[in-house]
């Protein structure tokens, strides 16, 4: 099986694809070019470029993985890549406005180049197991959904939301993926409130916590919280997540930063979810789809709908 030739652009926060290729030498992707992506120096036979424009002239590159230095400009970068004849895999949020999101989709259709966001939140364990269980209809009709996503605060957090997309978009998008991709339901309405309390920078624009309220397409209700209040030393993990989904027959939940789970059906405690399956990563699914040996786990519309929702939530907060 041949390998898709990949160019990686920048490392704004973390460039997941470089780490994934380093960790999985059997993946059908090969990084051949890099532009300001530090981890790529650990790879062999990589050509380094000073600008994205220079890298796009490299005819070997089939796919560009974007982690743009300014998230506000990432949609422009994605369009630029597709017009240069490259497929695109973009860090979250891939766009900061619905207008930019539509421009990405129109360019993909026009050029015939595939576009995907790094949207694998619900497709890795233990959330993959929760998704499979919920979609099996064993908890009945979904009535209420709750999720939490918490990261630590630190001086590395940009005060300008244009740099990384801001809390409500780049952290809260995990909540929206939990909400939609685990349940198979789309959010119909979304509202949010956020605060800068605890920021510490007198004139900073970094929001530290956000709460969301949502209504789902089936009439269910959902809520979520995201913040920069996690204590890594205290809990032992960089991210602290939990997800609870309540249905007419029972409920299922993941707790303690993803380390515990529980299923209740009627009056019976069914124990923990079976997380023994090792699913392919979202990037592997993308590579397989390009090679014609597999498909993406969700449609592009379903993949990007959580992004639409955090964009609308951010607008709602203005």
Q: How far is CA 167 from CA 196, 213, 314, in A?
A: 10, 16, 9
Please report where in the chains the tokens 């576009």 appear, as a residue.
Answer: 115
Q: How far is CA 177 from CA 1, 123, 151, 181, 280, in A?
A: 32, 10, 16, 5, 17
- 184: helix, coil or strand? coil
Same domain for 156 and 272, yes or no, is yes
Same domain for 189 and 244, yes or no, is yes
Same domain for 217 and 179, yes or no, is yes
Same domain for 267 and 144, yes or no, is yes
**Average pLDDT of every residue of the chain:** 94
Return the CATH number at 51: 3.40.50.720
53 burial level (CB within 10 Å; 0-12, 13-18, 19+) = exposed
Residue 305: inside a domain:
no
Same domain for 173 and 245, yes or no, is yes
Q: How far is CA 92 from CA 120, 158, 221, 287, 304, in A?
A: 11, 15, 25, 18, 10
Same domain for 177 and 156, yes or no, is yes
157 burial level (CB within 10 Å; 0-12, 13-18, 19+) = buried
Same domain for 185 and 270, yes or no, is yes
- Average confidence (pLDDT) over 257-270: 96
Q: How far is CA 275 from CA 80, 261, 279, 305, 312, in A?
A: 40, 10, 10, 26, 33
Please report where in the chains the tokens 């997800």 appear, as a residue.
Answer: 243
Same domain for 79 and 196, yes or no, is no
Residue 199 is inside which H or E element, if any?
A: none
Instruction: Give the model's confidence band at 25: pLDDT under 50 very low, under 70 low, under 90 confident, else very high.
Output: confident
> 97: domain range?
4-118
**Domain end: 83, 118, 153, which one?**
118
Q: Would you tell me the crossing angle of helices 300-317 and 98-111 to the nearest 10 degrees?
A: 160
Instruction: Give the model's confidence band at 20: pLDDT under 50 very low, under 70 low, under 90 confident, else very high.
Output: confident
- What integer pLDDT is reported at residue 175 of this predicted model? 98
Same domain for 235 and 105, yes or no, is no
Backbone angles phi, psi at 284, to 5 degrees: -60, -40
Residue 40: inside a domain:
yes
Residue 150: inside a domain:
yes
Looking at the structure of the chain, the number of domains it has is: 2
Kindly report, residue by residue over 75-117, the tens digit of the pLDDT: 999 999 999 999 999 999 999 999 999 999 999 999 999 999 9
**pTM for this prediction:** 0.95
Six-digit token pair at 182? 């685990």
- 226: helix, coil or strand? strand
Instruction: Give the model's confidence band at 235: pLDDT under 50 very low, under 70 low, under 90 confident, else very high.
Output: very high
Does residue 19 register a pLDDT over 90? Answer: no
């Amino acid at each position: 099986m041949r390998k898709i030739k990949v160019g990686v652009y920048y490392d704004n926060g973390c460039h997941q694809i470089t780490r994934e290729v380093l960790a999985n030498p059997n993946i059908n992707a090969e990084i051949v070019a890099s532009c300001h992506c530090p981890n790529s120096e650990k790879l062999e036979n990589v050509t380094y470029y000073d600008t994205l424009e220079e890298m796009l002239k490299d005819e070997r590159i089939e796919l560009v993985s974007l982690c743009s230095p300014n998230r506000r400009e990432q949609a422009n970068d994605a369009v630029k890549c597709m017009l240069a004849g490259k497929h695109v895999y973009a860090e979250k949020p891939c766009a900061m406005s619905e207008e930019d999101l539509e421009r990405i989709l129109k360019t993909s259709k026009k050029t015939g180049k595939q576009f995907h966001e790094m949207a694998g939140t619900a497709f890795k364990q233990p959330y993959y197991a929760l998704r499979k269980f919920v979609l099996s209809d064993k908890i009945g009709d979904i009535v209420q959904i709750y999720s939490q996503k918490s990261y630590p605060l630190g001086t590395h957090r940009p005060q300008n939301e244009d740099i990384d997309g801001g809390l409500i978009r780049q952290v809260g998008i995990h909540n929206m993926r939990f909400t939609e991709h685990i349940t198979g339901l789309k959010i119909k309405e979304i509202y949010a409130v956020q605060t800068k309390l605890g920021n510490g920078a007198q004139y900073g624009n970094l929001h530290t916590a956000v709460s969301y309220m949502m209504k789902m397409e089936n009439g269910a209700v959902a809520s979520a919280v995201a913040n920069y209040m996690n204590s890594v030393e205290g809990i032992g993990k960089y991210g602290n997540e939990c997800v609870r989904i309540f249905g007419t027959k029972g409920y299922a939940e993941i707790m303690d930063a993803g380390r515990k789970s529980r299923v209740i059906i009627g009056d019976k405690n069914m124990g923990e979810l079976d997380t023994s399956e090792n699913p392919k990563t979202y990037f592997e699914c993308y590579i397989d789809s390009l090679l014609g040996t597999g498909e993406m786990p969700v449609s592009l519309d379903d993949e990007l709908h959580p992004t639409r929702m955090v964009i609308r939530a951010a607008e709602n907060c203005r």
